[in-house]
Amino acid sequence: GPEILQEKIRREASQWQWKMLRMYAKPTIAMVNG
């Protein structure tokens, strides 16, 4: 049903957020440490 679809979208959205976060965090941390 729609509940399962919402759960799938939510999970994929959070995974995408983490992916973006990691991508942006690396250069930021490198800049701070450098």
> pLDDT by residue for the chain (34 residues), tens digit each?
889 999 999 999 999 999 988 888 777 777 777 6
Instruction: Please tell me the predicted confidence (pLDDT) of residue 22.
Output: 86
User: What's the predicted TM-score (pTM) here?
Assistant: 0.51
Alpha-carbon span 27 to 34, nearest angstrom? 10
| Alpha helices, DSSP H, located in the chain | 2-33
Instruction: Please tell me the predicted confidence (pLDDT) of residue 32.
Output: 77
Instruction: Please tell me the predicted confidence (pLDDT) of residue 15.
Output: 94
